[in-house]
Amino acid sequence: MLNNVKNMRISQQIFPRPVVLVATVDGDGKDNVMPASFVMPVSFSPKYVAVSIAPERQTFSNLRKVGEFTVNVATLEMLEQVKVCGSCSGRDLDKFSMARLTKVPSKKVRPPGIAESPITLECLVEYMGRFGDHYLVVGRVVEEYVRRMEFSPLLHYAGDRYMEARPFEP
Ligand SMILES: Cc1cc2nc3c(=O)[nH]c(=O)nc-3n(C[C@H](O)[C@H](O)[C@H](O)COP(=O)(O)O)c2cc1C
């Protein structure tokens, strides 16, 4: 057995994980955006996606109150914007303008999509339950946008460390 394995975070054990930008709105309609790499596809049909969100996040309060979000896949080119949105809370800040992200009005939910993202999924929260220090949030995808089929997804390792996907022929 290696030493120090108890100090290894789950994010250092299960990686890489794609980064998505989760957009939400509060009760007054003010939008917010945060990166999440605890993200998982859940079902093909109907389409469901899950994210795991810590209760300290403004995003969490918004999800609790409004129950709607968009999942926007982040690309390598969006790294700086991901860092900006992950470095502070949207409680008192407008992270869309700080990160220079372009909002796209959604069709079926209140939070906007993000034009820079190749894929946007509009989601309705169907489940929120606490697991340890995070809440699992499962959303049913009610609308989707594919702006580009080819893109390089931004992958997260842990903390401030990222990876990129390299396709290969098996
Ligand atoms: C690449 C990356 C991935 C992250 N993944 C998650 C995640 O899956 N769940 C989570 O609760 N926080 C995650 N965070 C942290 C939040 O994005 C960060 O705390 C953010 O400032 C919260 O913003 P908010 O308070 O406006 O919601 C991640 C941060 C980064 C940079």
Q: Total domain count for the chain?
A: 1
Tell me the CATH number at 39.
2.30.110.10
Give the confidence band of 5 by pLDDT, cuts at 50, 70, 90: confident
Q: How far is the CA of 169 from the centre of ligand 1 (A)?
A: 33
For residue 160, give the ligand 1 atom closest to its CA. 31
Residue range 125-147: average pLDDT? 98
Is 169 within a domain? no
Distances (CA, A) of 34 to 19, 83, 117: 10, 9, 14
Whether residue 119 lies inside any domain: the answer is yes
Position 70 in a domain:
yes
Specify the 3-state DSSP secondary structure of 88. coil
Report the nearest atom of ligand 1 relative to the CA of 54. Answer: 11
Please check whether residue 160 lies inside any domain of the structure.
no
| Residue 113 maps to a domain | yes
Is residue 86 within 8 Å of residue 79, measured between CB atoms?
no
Asked whether 52 and 133 are in contact (CB, 8 A), the reply is no
Tens of pLDDT, residues 54-93: 999 999 999 999 999 999 999 999 999 999 999 999 999 9
Match 């049913």 to its residue by tokens: 140
The residue segments making up the domain with residue 65 are 17-150
pLDDT digits (tens, 9 = 90+) for 7-60: 899 999 999 999 999 999 999 999 999 999 999 999 999 999 999 999 999 999
Query: Distance between CA 95 and CA 81 in Å, rounded?
Result: 9
Q: Which residues have any ligand 1 atom within 6 Å of their CB?
A: 19, 32, 34-38, 52-54, 57-59, 82, 86, 88-90, 134, 156
